[in-house]
Structure 1
Amino acid sequence: MAINTTLLAILSLGSACLLHFMYRLFTHRRWFKDLPQPPHDFLWGHLKIMGEVAATMPPNTHPQAYLTAIAQKYKLKGIFYIDLWPIAVPQVVLTDPDLMSRVTINQPLQMHQMADEFLSPIVGHNVIAVANGSIWKKAHNAMAPAFSKSHIRSLTDVIVEETMQFRRALDQHAGKGDVFSMEDTAARLIFDVIGRILFNLKLHAQTEGSALLGDLREMIHLAQAQLSYNPFVKIGLIFKRREVLSRLNPAIVGIIKERLSILRDQKTVPSRKNPYSILDLMLREHTLDEDQMNEKSENLTPEFLELLVTNMKGLLLGGHGTTTDTLCFIYMLLSKHPEAVQKLREEHNRVFHANFAETLDTLLDSPQKTSELEYTTAVIKETLRLFPVGFGVRKAEPGVTIDYEGKTYPIDNNLVVIPLPHAVHYCPSYYPDPTSFRPERFLSSDPDSTAANANFRTFGRGARACLGQNLAMTELAIILLMTIRDYEFDCANLKPNKEPRTRWTNMDLRFGDVVFQELGLEAKPRGGMMMTVKKV
């Protein structure tokens, strides 16, 4: 009797759960009726379509490529919806620049909690890139002076010094004639630069190796593995992550406390007009006057210390990731475009000097001259157009809608709102012949330049645009100025595809699968971007 009662209870509970699931399935799928979308299946939503598109590309391709492929395959313009329930949160994708501006500039939406959930295992909660409200405002106001154009120009000597070490690494590879990972080599360069800007310290990643860099990159690998649906994998990652964080967090805390001790010993209040480092600006929020300088250096609240550690990790990763990726893709593209290399060299000789030593002297004396490198800037922007670093995800408040071509569409209901630069950058309506590497489209003399610059969205727009974009553009311009004249790069082990994998690009006919950016912290180079280099 007891067994029958228990069995009946289990069957009743199972039936109730099944009915609840079917009710949610029906109401959820019905919500998408009459919305712009790819073909919608009542049972699968768009899960099968997403799987089919993903299967056409190499493993772990960044999802921006999937969404662009769907938009082009099904001729979806401006706005469309993706139903991935119950596997993932449903999405509304914006592929019209005006719509993107409305949710980032006109009525900026908050960052979606999904971004914080992805980043928090790596850096912690509320890093500036995904924080909202007062937390974001405080961090942004503190850091902004360090990213001004004038301050970045004052750091030219730092970028030059670290790039000279990068040249020495290239000399060694050229002498050996070996195949090396440009991603790893460039990451050490950019990490040393961002370390100087963050901490006003030399991190020596290029010369001695950096445990800090190694641990941060390991955290990214662990975050990628966290996407696994295998519960045993997830459990194992918890212990691995704790092991890495037990080294990483104390190292950064040590740097923070040491710097605060120095400031207090010197009774120095960091200046917003001429900051020594971003850390100084953040500490300024804690030590605003000389009276506080007399307090013990350990007197940092746990909350403030956690916020500092989180943002230092976030800036170390973000600061070196985007620039590293872009430099890899620039060298990749230039390897197949000698005409662009020649134009770069001619511009560098004209604006600076044909002699390398005199070029450095001019650069250090007049760093503002990098703004005259119009073609160099165009090469960087064209690379970022073809290989954007990814997208930010937003969330609308209940009841928020958006108008497009005379119709009103909902963007709330816990949807992930995705402004998708990748789709804009590969749309012929915005960029004629979009799969071609043509830097000239960004030159002021080109008739398409106004539209090209207006629709360029890699760094985002509005108050939440990438804080470090001026730094990234300046770093890349100086690195190109100091390398293109003396080195030629070639991709190694390329296996060009016989047929294009997708509708949105045919570059894989020349470069193979390396053109499909991998999902990392951002859309990163595939396989480490293996290269060879030789001296000119």
Structure 2
Amino acid sequence: MILGCPNQDADHIFPLGILDHSQNIDSLLYCNFGWRARGIFIDVKKQDLPTPKHNIFFGHLLTLKTYIDKLPKDAHPFIAFGQMARNFSGGIFYLDMWPFMDPVLMCTSATAAIETTQKTVLATKKPRSLESWFIPIAGGPNLFTMEEDDWRFWRNTFNPGFSQAHIMKLVPSIVHEVKAYQKLLLEYSEKKEMFLLDEVTLWFTMDMIGAIVLLDSKRTKNPLAVALLSQLRWKLSEQELNPLKRWNPIRPIVEWHNSRQMNNYIGKELDKRYQDYLSKIKRGDNVRSNSVISLVLEGYLKQSQSKKPSITLEKRFKSYATYQIRTFLFAGHDTTSSTICYIFYLLAKNPVAMDKIRHEHDNILGAELDAAPKVITENPQILNQLTYTFAVIKESMRLFPAASSIRQGVEGVSIRDDEGRTYPTGNTMVWILHQAMQRDPRYWAQPNDFIPERWLAAPGDPLYPVKGAWRPFEFGPRNCIGQGLVMIELRIILALVIRQFDVRDAYEEFDRLNPRSGGIVMVEGERAYQIEGGGAHPADRFPCRVSLRKQGAL
């Protein structure tokens, strides 16, 4: 069966998206959208499909509020949605969040997630409503939001740069950037002061991904980084339910300025690299380079092989290349920073795991800390021997995934839960809640405990992970193109940092210095609960103290 309107003559529901001030919708059309959105849930009820108690005027907003009221004010929304999911045995339910988003089919079922992303036509379909969120970040059509044909072209253009072989060529550049991060942590350890690790690490990961994408080692606070981080801060303000923040008239001006800054910076880099390429071709030199921006230009030159290359980049190609580079800079720095913070947080809380990872680094990389960068640079394949380190990273991502995933439902297409029950996807967005699924006791023994050993367990072991229940990078054709790069980056960071420093959260101290007037500051026992910040980030940006580890200490 297909979810539809009370009037079955209506052939579709116009995507509502996340409504903002930039959409010139008159009141009559706005009400018509609302009537149609609410109407879908009349059909849901008739079909006896799982959904919370529905209000014809407020949809499920009041139901959501009862969950949000039990959480800290800044807690990430997917925490509330995940808690709602516990009321539905199949892990799937329909949710009416109009006017803030399209009708949603929430999913915490591993079986349904596999069908959505790998086994049905939904696998390559992204909701059009995502565009309103990503356009200020990317500037235009990008790998997150493109229709299938355009997406396949650009995905194929970038795939060679994210192959395992190419990633290994980037290891020296990553090691160089991580050594700068070491120096930064050393400075904080000498100052003996509390600081916000997530903010510091965000600038570091921006430098690191900038070096990889642009092969540009300029340090923090260059115009591109400043503009992108400013864009994120202003973009997140529109997610507020407070209309004064959501529809701030200054926001479109700031977003336009930031976008112009990013486009100018990347555009100049593209033009400069392209002219270098033309000069090398004229001289007969090798044009190969390790940077992502060079891959873009190589793809452009391949397109032009049947004709003489143009003196300048074609305007449309340059624009689309800029959108993809902005997307990589956003995705490549944001979630990596969050993951680094949570790894430090979890290892400090689990000293046995900390001892194991440090022993592994001593055994594989040698006991001399200063020699580790050279060991890794000269033999990048040695990182593959850090199996416990890899397990620590995966377990940290399981407990604190940086994002969820979403696909556009299609009329006539249904997905099944673990028990074989079917759920129509027509006129909905299918939202796969990674955070809830990755702590679901149906799939995980001791789901809230940090147990890296589960990633080393053999089939048949109670700890052995259930297929499809770990999804930080998603699966299927639209999985994360950069997942191999992220895993190498994180292994290098841990290999060079974890034996040198002790990083401990300073939430108690932070709360004494910044008292809240009442309110909740914990989520299911975690002070470092996740908040929204592009991807999900630790609360209050992870206040911490860093100290040099005593040599020889475990």
Q: Which TM-score bucket, shorter chain as reference? A: 0.7 to 0.9
Aligned match of 2:177 in 162, 166, 186?
Answer: 162
Deviates more, 1:366-375 or 1:261-270: 261-270
Whether 1:137 aligns to 2:149 is no
Q: Distance in 2 between matches of 1:17 and 1:113?
A: 18
Q: Distance in 1 between matches of 2:479 and 2:448?
A: 25
Aligned match of 1:216 in 199, 205, 228?
Answer: 228
Q: Distance in 2 between matches of 1:18 and 1:131?
A: 26
Taking the TM superposition and a 5 Å limit, the aligned residue runs for 1:276-425 are 276-288=290-302, 295-297=310-312, 299-301=313-315, 303-404=316-417, 405-413=419-427, 415-425=428-438
2:70/2:520 contact within 8 Å kept: no
1:103/1:109 contact within 8 Å kept: no
Aligned match of 1:252 in 234, 242, 266?
Answer: 266
Corresponding position of 1:476: 490
2:411/2:424 contact within 8 Å kept: no
Deviates more, 1:141-150 or 1:355-364: 355-364
- Tell me how far 1:314 sits from its aligned partner: 0.8
Change (3 A) 1:35 1:347: same
Corresponding position of 2:90: 77
Corresponding position of 1:8: none
Aligned match of 1:226 in 238, 243, 251?
Answer: 238
- Tell me how far 1:318 sits from its aligned partner: 0.5
- Tell me how far 1:58 sits from its aligned partner: 2.0
Deviations 1:13-55 (A, max 9, x none): xxx9999799657733312201112233344321111112112
Aligned match of 1:91 in 100, 104, 120?
Answer: 104
1:435/1:506 contact within 8 Å kept: no
Identity value in percent:
26
The CA RMSD over aligned residues, in Å, is 2.9
Residue ranges of structure 1 left out of the alignment (5+ in a row): 1-15
Residue ranges of structure 2 left out of the alignment (5+ in a row): 1-27, 550-554
Q: Name the one with the larger helix percent.
A: 1
Q: Distance in 2 between matches of 1:350 and 1:26?
A: 61
Whether 1:241 aligns to 2:255 is yes
Q: Distance in 2 between matches of 1:19 and 1:88?
A: 14
Q: How many residues align?
A: 507
TM-score, with structure 1 as normaliser: 0.88
Corresponding position of 1:120: 135
Deviates more, 1:54-63 or 1:346-355: 54-63
- Tell me how far 1:128 sits from its aligned partner: 0.9
Aligned match of 1:464 in 475, 478, 490?
Answer: 478
Q: Distance in 1 between matches of 2:394 and 2:246?
A: 43
Corresponding position of 2:40: 28
What letter matches 1:157 in structure 2?
P
1:270/1:280 contact within 8 Å kept: no
Q: Distance in 2 between matches of 1:22 and 1:378?
A: 46
- Tell me how far 1:445 sits from its aligned partner: 5.1
SS at match of 1:65: helix
2:405/2:434 contact within 8 Å kept: no
Aligned match of 1:426 in 439, 442, 447?
Answer: 439
2:85/2:92 contact within 8 Å kept: no
Q: Distance in 2 between matches of 1:17 and 1:401?
A: 29
What letter matches 2:44 in structure 1?
F
What letter matches 1:528 in structure 2?
R
Q: Distance in 1 between matches of 2:226 and 2:91?
A: 41
Whether 1:48 aligns to 2:92 is no
Aligned match of 2:501 in 474, 479, 487?
Answer: 487
What letter matches 2:168 in structure 1?
R
Whether 1:534 aligns to 2:530 is no
Taking the TM superposition and a 5 Å limit, the aligned residue runs for 1:502-521 are 506-508=524-526, 512=527, 514-515=528-529, 517-521=530-534
- Tell me how far 1:103 sits from its aligned partner: 1.1
Taking the TM superposition and a 5 Å limit, the aligned residue runs for 1:6-21 are none
Corresponding position of 2:6: none
What letter matches 1:491 in structure 2?
D
SS at match of 2:301: coil
What letter matches 1:527 in structure 2?
D
SS at match of 1:402: strand
TM-score, with structure 2 as normaliser: 0.85
Deviations 1:444-467 (A, max 9, x none): 358245425652111100111111
